[in-house]
Amino acid sequence: MAARDRAVETIVGPTIAMAQGAAASARAFDTVVHERTRLAILSSLSAAQNMSFQELKSLLGVTDGNLSVHARKLEDAGYVKMRKAFHGRQPRTTFKLTAVGREALEAYLRHMEALITAIGRLDNQRSGSEYGQTELPLPTKAASSS
C-alpha cells in the first residue's frame, strides 16, 4: 500500500502543479489573438505583406460582416492596419500586420508551444506509472501514403 501511495504522490504532485501552471497559462492568453477568426487573420497576414478584404474573406471562408468585426477588433488592438482606397470607382480595403501584431502573434505561438511542451512532459510522467496509457505509434510517411 505504501508503494502505491508513493506512486500516486509521484504522479499527482507534479500533475497538480502542472495543472495549476496550465490554468495560469490559459489566463495569460491574449484573448484578442486567441479567437479562431482573428488568429487566422493574423496568421494569413504574417505570411503576406498585405491582403485585401476580398482575399482574406475568400481564404478564411467568412462573411463580410464577420471579417469586418474581427478586423476592427484587431485594428483597435493595434495588431493590423487597415487602408481604404479606391481603384477606379471600386472601393478596396487592404490589411497589413503591424509590428505590434506580429509580436502578439509570435508571443501567442510561443505560449502555445510552452503549453504543448508542458502537457507532453505530464504525459511522459504518466506513462511511467500504472495510470499511464499505452502509446500508439505515429504513422510513418510510408504508412500514411498507402
pLDDT digits (tens, 9 = 90+) for 61-95: 999 999 999 999 999 999 999 999 998 999 999 99
Q: What is the mean pLDDT of residues 20-49?
A: 84
Query: Could you tell me the pLDDT band of residue 7, with boundaries at 50, 70 and 90?
Result: very low
Residue 125 lies in a domain: no
Percentage of the chain lying above the pLDDT 70 cut: 68
Q: What is the mean pLDDT of residues 124-140?
A: 61
| Helix (H) / strand (E) containing 33 | helix 31-34
Domain that holds residue 80: 30-117
How far is residue 34 CA from its own chain's centroid? 6
Kindly tell me if the per-residue pLDDT of 98 is higher than 90: yes
Query: Could you tell me the pLDDT band of residue 29, with boundaries at 50, 70 and 90?
Result: confident
pLDDT at residue number 43 = 97
According to DSSP, residue 1 is labeled -
Residue 85 lies in a domain: yes
HSE toward the beta carbon, residue 59, CA cutoff 13 A = 16
Residue 106 lies in a domain: yes
| Helix (H) / strand (E) containing 3 | helix 2-27
Highest mean pLDDT among 14-18, 73-77, 84-88, 137-141: 73-77
CATH code at 81?
A: 1.10.10.10
Phi, psi of 43, rounded to the nearest 5 degrees:
-65, -45
How far is residue 119 CA from its own chain's centroid? 15
User: Count of domains in the chain?
Assistant: 1
